Amino acid sequence: MAQVLRVPVDQVPPRLQGQPLTEWLARVTLEHGTYFELVTAKKLPAATGPWIAVVATETPGETHAVAMIGRTSYDPTCPGAAYGALGGLVPK
């Protein structure tokens, strides 16, 4: 999230275990003035701009968030995140 917002990590509120995603995103919006839309894989953004891919992990039912710029991951351990994304968080 910090990479997409282009702020230091300590300026992004932590998401607490069990905290609903929508509640956390509302807090991020209040603190940073950027609204994030949760979209399905079919509505992922075009290959430009920053967004966050939501990808499956090896543990069933768990997901991982990967900061993206277009179709390129900021995280070198998840190079194909855009292509395997279940959905994403897109700044509006």
pTM of structure: 0.81
Q: How many CA atoms lie within 13 A of 44 on its CB side?
A: 22
Per-residue pLDDT of the chain (92 residues; tens, 9 = 90+): 998 999 999 999 998 888 888 899 999 999 999 999 989 988 887 767 899 988 888 888 788 889 998 888 888 888 888 888 889 999 88
